[in-house]
Structure 1
């Protein structure tokens, strides 16, 4: 749990750029709930992180901007009773968020016209529905 964080696509966050904070977790824990620091907060200063190229850093800062506090991304994990499992969960969540932020933008949508057959089917359906409603009107009178 102390090694570098592999994000993917050739991006690795050095272990020295990851900061941890441990605290007591709420919720289940039995006898150890008030004595064990099982809640994890993982911090990464994305603005100063050495694992990114300039372009990658710019993309990550832009996409994760609303989640950052002074350029620092915080991931909290407290769903498990074990500190080790919470550390793994925090690292996995951080790697997933960074991978998503680093992904290239999707290709722009190309506007297309409906085919001639699709237009004809739509108009035929409209005419059929119109005919049904006209027949209903005549019966009501």
Structure 2
């Protein structure tokens, strides 16, 4: 079991890894070894989450989420396979930790009396300027 938060723990069998060839610089080594990791985690069928955490996780995953509800994380920052594995796993766990945090609801605030007065003074000033621009014969 992989402990994510106090209340969330993932079973290691829920995460599947496959190794692919990394793109980018690396010389001849990049053509021979599969050091990049593609980590897959099925969010919709995981028993580890409540519905609200699942919804937040799907929203946070963005383009990393497939239509089937699988998060795909590709890690190829490092040259070693093990470092890429830990990097991909840490990125997944950080995503889950963010989804597990309850968002603080916004408390609507009222504008202060001074800000209302400043707004009205600005409107009066603009109105006065526009009144001066009018032809005097138009309004009479």
TM-score (norm 1): 0.71
Matched, 1:58 2:51: yes
Q: Report the 3-state secondary structure (helix = DSSP H, G, I; strand = E; otherwise coil) of the residue aligned with 2:16.
A: strand
After TM superposition, give the deviation of residue 113 of structure 1 in Å: 3.1
Matches within 5 A, 1:88-99: 88-99=86-97
After TM superposition, give the deviation of residue 33 of structure 1 in Å: 0.7
Matches within 5 A, 1:1-141: 4-50=1-47, 52=48, 56-63=49-56, 64=58, 67-110=65-108, 112-131=109-128, 137=133
Gaps of 5+ in 2: 135-140
Distance 2:30 2:82 in 1: 15
Runs of 4+ in 1 over 6 A off after TM superposition: none
Gaps of 5+ in 1: none
